[in-house]
Amino acid sequence: MSERSLGPAPSRLVAVLGPTNTGKTHFAVERMLGHASGMIGLPLRLLAREIYDRIVRARGARAVALITGEEKIIPPRAAYFVCTVEAMPLSREVEFLAVDEIQLCADPERGHVFTHRLLHARGRSETLLLGSLSMAPLIRRLLPDAEIVSRERFSTLSYAGGKKLTRLPRRSAVVAFSADQVYAIAELIRRQRGGAAVVMGSLSPRTRNAQVELYQSGEVDFLVATDAIGMGLNMDVDHVAFAGLHKFDGRRTRPLHPQEVGQIAGRAGRYRKDGTFGVTGDCEEMDPGLVAQVEAHRYDPAPAAEWRNPRLDFASLGELLRSLGEAPGREGLSLSAEALDEITLRQLAADPRVADRCRDRSALLHLWDVCQTPDFRKTGLEEHLRLAREFFFWLSSHGRRIPEDWMSDQFRRLDRTEGEIDTLQARLSNVRTLAYVANRPGWLSDPAGWQGRTRVLEDRLSDTLHEKLTARFVDRRTSVLMRTLRSSGEILAGVSRDGVVTVEGQVVGRLTGVVFTPERAGSALEEKALRAAANSAAAPEIARRLGRMAAEPDEAFALEPGGRILWRGEAAAGVQGGGLFAPRAGLFGDLGPAPVRERALRRIEAWLAAEAGRRLAPLARLDQALRTDQLRGLARGLAWRLVEAGGLLDRAEVREEAAALSPAERRSLRTLGVRLGAFSVFLPELPSPEALDLVRAVLAPGRPPPRPGRLARGQDAAPKPVLAAAGLRRAGDLLVEASRLEALDGALRAAPSTPRGVEVAPALSQILDGPVDHLFAVLRALGFAPLEKPRTDAPVLWRRRKAPAPRPQAPISDASPFSALAALRLLEGKPARTRGPRKGRRPRRPGRAAG
């Protein structure tokens, strides 16, 4: 994707503009995944890592690359590239490209980078520019061909005024603008409210994610952060409190711009949940005009985009400096103030030793590359210039590499985890510098090795920093639980959204659905305290959830293959026997009032019965026809047997009844979905994974599902309804699909035959999807016998044996539905009626109405 002059866009160019919580970034990620390849540029390394992890979960690590200044993960066949805006590899062509937070075009420090992407970065098929509505007039001016799409915020953002830190609502984020202020506020919240998570832009992604998880899990209800949370980081924040309305921007302390206030305040409320913002501590109240702008998401249009010449002239050092100061010469673009890289270049150019080396294009390229090294360490301009000069001398010398000894010495000094928070953060900043060096092409002899080593060290330091932050700003003393045991007053307890149960700020267990699982206790006293705390915290929540469950629609429940019943995705009950159309269930857990538990259980069993009717619909229709006397005569008796067997019978078991059915009776059974096959009487529409899961849960809990093939020696046969739900039946010691047996019957009818028998070719085993010996075993089980020894390489004649004489029937109880059928046969004096040609009107059979 080379730089292109402004002209007709080669792809669809869309600016998606709106306030926070409009789903712009989510929309861009979904659009990107709809293309074969894509790239998205994000304003923060933290946000890039978050989006990278999300796409990896969706498409796998092999398909996704992460490219930032300090980290590069580039699989050989990566299709999707998640980058910081500065690190976007614009030479790589992709179908889709997006740039997030495009309003940063107006940022004095980084704006020229975003402006370059605005003007030149394009995807072959589609390009999205995501940002604030304040960019709309400027985009219309600079990109007249762009389509502008505005999005409305999903929820309302309103001003809640000033509140003391001790009065802030739970799930609040307090925003400060210096590390010292962040630490002071977090310490106060720890003493007053139990603890707070800390998020700052200087944290590594690993530390930041661990701190956010501390907050998201509900272990703490407060977050203290810098304005880093304003750039799209997703957290469940209900209220944002500003501890100040001024910030130091690297040059001076200035008031926050209205759009900056809106960007940070907009973190409150997620999706459809409304949010509030306000001030806290010593911060003055917000001006009403500023409040109105933030609540309405209406800001002054961006006057111009910061611009710096992207076509630098490397003919000489003087030409390079001149080209950097070249004016844009176009309305809507404003020449950017000198950024750190340009300041570094001008300072180094004044050094005669540097100027003397810059006599060719290669040396100039190295110099400009070195000058773009970020100042992660924040140790001052002089120290940054010293490091940049050192890098340049190494890269422009004979070896043209940064020495391994220097990297090893730096790494050895940083490879320690002792020290306090500030010490660990300083080490992490230095590690980020080493990681940046390792990821610059051509700077080291072994870049891959150093990338791996710096990544491992950063992770280890990040984990240690997270532990230090948590230990300092979260009080986890077990004495809190002991105090709740002795307390006679009200206990501060709650359940977070993800089910973590806390009492006085301490995790005591987890609530999953309506089941409470306590934390493991270290002593009997602590276990007693945990149980008492759980009763006060979890029992009311369980009662509330049971009440909700009793009023839930069917869509809230689901049945797992093992028989567990899920409520809103969490296990709440289990199937406990009963009948196929009246299954019983049992609630998990033991907390909650008995009447409430009973109502919830009745609701689950009602859903379970309806689910059985849906999953077993063909069998339910047949059962309903019997209960409403829709079937009469022999068809009724045959249907009863079919229902009792779960929907599948060996035809040999009902040979006489099936043969005696009248055409009308056959039609009535066929209308109800019954198929009278050559070898089976069954319901072809019944077998399905859903039907099998339900029947197994009711009749054979814990047993594995039946599979076609040979039964293991000594294996108990599954109940007939379970086999029927799988579409299987016994054929000797084999389980075979009934539909395949009927297909085999069709093949046998079509096969060559003689008066002696039918010719069976070994290829017919393909119908049964098994080996040839299975075919021979099935034929024998179906009553066929070979006229010679079966062969696996040639057809052999088989003949069907005569059906055996009827076996004596056991006495039938008067309560059985078959008693009327037995009486009918006794009256007729024969086991079953036979049919022959009839003339005239058929006489009415005695007992027909009784079925």
- pLDDT tens for 474-494 read 755 433 554 455 455 556 667
Could you write out the DSSP letters of every residue in 19-83?
-SSS-HHHHHHHHHHTSSSEEEEES-HHHHHHHHHHHHHHH-GGGEEEE-SS-EE--TT--EEEE
Cβ contact 189:469 at 8 Å: no
Residues 140 and 16 in one domain: yes
Q: What is the pLDDT of residue 807?
A: 56
What's the CA angle centered on 462, arms 456 and 464, to 5 degrees? 110
Q: Which residues of 686-704 are buried (b: 16+ CB within 10 A; e: fewer)?
A: bbbeebbbbbbbbbbeeee
Q: Which two tokens stand for residue 221?
A: 């209800």
pLDDT band, residue 137 (cuts 50/70/90): very high
Residue where one domain finishes, among candidates 150, 180, 206: 150
Residue 812 lies in a domain: no
- 679: in domain: no
In a shared domain, residues 338 and 443: yes
pLDDT score recorded for residue 842: 44
Give residue 522's pLDDT: 55
So what's the pLDDT on residue 537? 72
Q: Are 182 and 242 in contact (CB under 8 A)?
A: no
pLDDT of 267-292, one tens digit each?
A: 888 777 889 999 998 899 999 999 99
Beta strand 157-163 with 275-280 is: parallel
Report the domain count for the chain.
Answer: 5
E strand segments, 543-661: 557-559, 564-567, 570-579, 582-587, 648-650
Question: What percent of the chain shows pLDDT beyond 70?
Answer: 87
> How far apart are alpha carbons 397 and 763 in whole angstroms?
77
Residue 847: pLDDT over 60: no
Same domain, 466 and 502: no
Candidate from 314-328, 554-568, 684-698, 699-713 with smallest mean pLDDT? 699-713
Find which of 299-303, 480-484, 606-610, 815-819 is predicted with most confidence, using mean pLDDT. 606-610
Structure token digits, residue 81: 């590239």
**pLDDT reading at 680 higher than 70:** yes
**29 and 145 belong to one structural domain:** yes
- 703: pLDDT strictly greater than 90: no
Domain that holds residue 386: 305-473
pLDDT (tens digit, 9 = 90+) per residue, 48-95?
988 999 999 999 999 999 999 888 899 999 999 999 999 999 999 999
Domain holding 227: CATH number?
3.40.50.300
Residue 386 has pLDDT above 90, yes or no: yes
Predicted confidence (pLDDT) per residue in 325-355, tens digit: 999 988 999 999 888 999 999 999 999 999 9
pLDDT reading at 824 higher than 70: no
The string of DSSP codes covering 82-128 is EEEGGG--TTS--SEEEES-GGGGG-TTTHHHHHHHHHH---SSEEE
Position 434 pLDDT exceeds 60: yes
Structure confidence by residue, pLDDT tens digits, 775-788: 989 999 888 999 88
Q: Is the dihedral of CA 587, 592, 595, 600 positive or negative?
A: negative
Helices 689-699 and 594-615: crossing angle in degrees, nearest 10, is 130
Residue 337 maps to a domain: yes
- Is 803 within the bounds of a domain? no
Residues in CB range of 114: below 8 A, 6 or more apart: 85, 99, 101, 102, 104, 105, 107, 305, 306
Residue ending a domain, choose from 419, 450, 473: 473
| Mean pLDDT, residues 136-153 | 92
- pLDDT given at position 267: 85
**pLDDT more than 90, % of the chain:** 51
* Per-residue pLDDT at 671: 92
CB count in 10 Å sphere of residue 452: 12
Distances in whole angstroms, Cα of residue 160 to Cα of each of 7, 18, 168, 258, 261: 48, 23, 11, 17, 14
Q: Mean pLDDT for the chain?
A: 85
pLDDT value at position 308? Answer: 93
Whole-number pLDDT of residue 122: 95
In a domain, 814, yes or no: no
Residue 169 has pLDDT above 80, yes or no: yes
Domain identity same for 376 and 422: yes
Mean pLDDT of all residues in 452-480: 82
Residues 176 and 203 in one domain: yes
The values of phi and psi at residue 691, to 5°, are -65, -40
Per-residue pLDDT tens over the stretch 530-548: 666 667 777 788 888 899 8
pLDDT for residue 840: 44
Instruction: Say whether pLDDT at 385 is over 90.
Output: yes
Assess if residue 634 is contained within a domain: no
> How confident is the model at residue 792, as a pLDDT?
82
Prediction pTM value: 0.56
In SS3 terms, 601-633 reads as HHHHHHHHHHHHHHHCHHHHHHHHHHHCCCCCH
- For residue 484, the model assigns a pLDDT of 54
Together in a domain, 448 and 330: yes
**pLDDT > 80? residue 713:** no
- Same-domain status, 323 and 469: yes
Task: Determine the average pLDDT of the residues in 818-841.
Answer: 47
Identify the domain boundary among 494, 526, 545: 545
Predicted pLDDT at 593: 86
Among the residue ranges 111-115, 260-264, 462-466, the one predicted with the least confidence is 260-264
Task: Based on the fold, state whether residues 417 and 444 are members of the same structural domain.
Answer: yes
- Quick one: pLDDT at residue 214? 86
What per-residue confidence (pLDDT) applies to 828? 45
- Does 512 reside within a domain? yes
**Which whole number is the average pLDDT over 803-819?**
56
Band of pLDDT at residue 838, cut at 50, 70 and 90: very low
Same domain for 460 and 561:
no
Q: Which pLDDT score, from 0 to 100, does residue 793 have?
A: 83
Average pLDDT over residues 675-696: 92
Backbone angles phi, psi at 65, to 5 degrees: -115, 145
Reported confidence tier of residue 123, pLDDT bands at 50, 70, 90: very high
Mean pLDDT, residues 129-148: 93
Walk across the sheet containing 709-710 and list its strands: 709-710, 734-737, 728-731
User: Averaged over 197-204, what is the pLDDT?
Assistant: 86
The maximal CA–CA distance of the chain, rounded, in angstroms, is 125
d(CA 792, CA 803): 27
- 138 pLDDT exceeds 70? yes
Asked if residue 257 is part of any domain, the answer here is yes
- Whether the pLDDT of residue 318 is over 80: the answer is yes
Q: Kindly report which listed range (19-33, 235-249, 338-352, 484-498) carries the lowest average pLDDT score.
A: 484-498
Dist CA 634 CA 641 (whole Å): 11
Same domain, 173 and 268: yes
pLDDT at 242: 95
pLDDT of res. 804: 60
What pLDDT score was predicted for residue 273?
83
User: Is there a single domain that holds both residue 244 and residue 125?
Assistant: no
